[in-house]
Amino acid sequence: MTRCSVCRSAFVKRSMTHKACSPSCAEILGRKVALEKAEKQKRKEAKVDRLDTRERKEKLKSKSEVSKEVQVIVNRYVRERDLKAGYGCISCGTHSSPRWDAGHFRSVGSAPHLRFDADRNISLQCARCNTFLAGNLLAYKDALPKRIGSQAFIALLCDNTPKHYTIADLQGIKASFREKLKELKNGR
């Protein structure tokens, strides 16, 4: 004995595909299955439409919008990297802050070509030093050579090579740092 999928009454199955007790229950079951298939198809089409819309929006973004998105990913990577390494604020040395920032030694306005230089120009800073003390650059200047080495520090100070990023370059940088961030969070 098997139970009907629609009315839950008991009936004897005549074949493997027999799921309803009567033709009226079979008709209801058939409509239900067709409706579920139609809903599934609608969801699939909606997903394709959303992906298409996302791709079109991505193509319409300006260079400055993409640059801001890249900066967000780079800053997130720097914060995660330095916190995982056990560093505190590069300027004041504190290890407890309500909010951590990724502070640039050479500012984005004065050295836009070093905007994404996470190895030499960007370090973990507490919100107090980065925001309220305008980067606390004197302390930053004293601590940075100890962290990256004096040769790299001098190279950073002397680096005035202009870089003109295209949108494709920026998207490549974004993908690279997103991958680095993923690897860092996964503990590799």
* pLDDT at site 121: 95
* 3-state SS record for 57-120: HHHHCCHHHHHHHHHHHHHHHHHHHHHHHCCCCCCCCCCCCCCEEEEECCCCCCCHHHCCCCCC
* pLDDT at site 93: 93
Q: What is the mean pLDDT of residues 91-108?
A: 93
* pLDDT at site 98: 92
Is the pLDDT at 41 greater than 90? The verdict is yes
Give the distance between the most distant pair of CA atoms in the chain. 87
pLDDT confidence of 188, banded at 50, 70, 90? low
Q: What is the mean pLDDT of residues 91-115?
A: 93
Is the pLDDT at 148 greater than 70? The verdict is yes
**Domain spans in the chain, listed from the N-terminal domain onward:** 1-45, 64-186
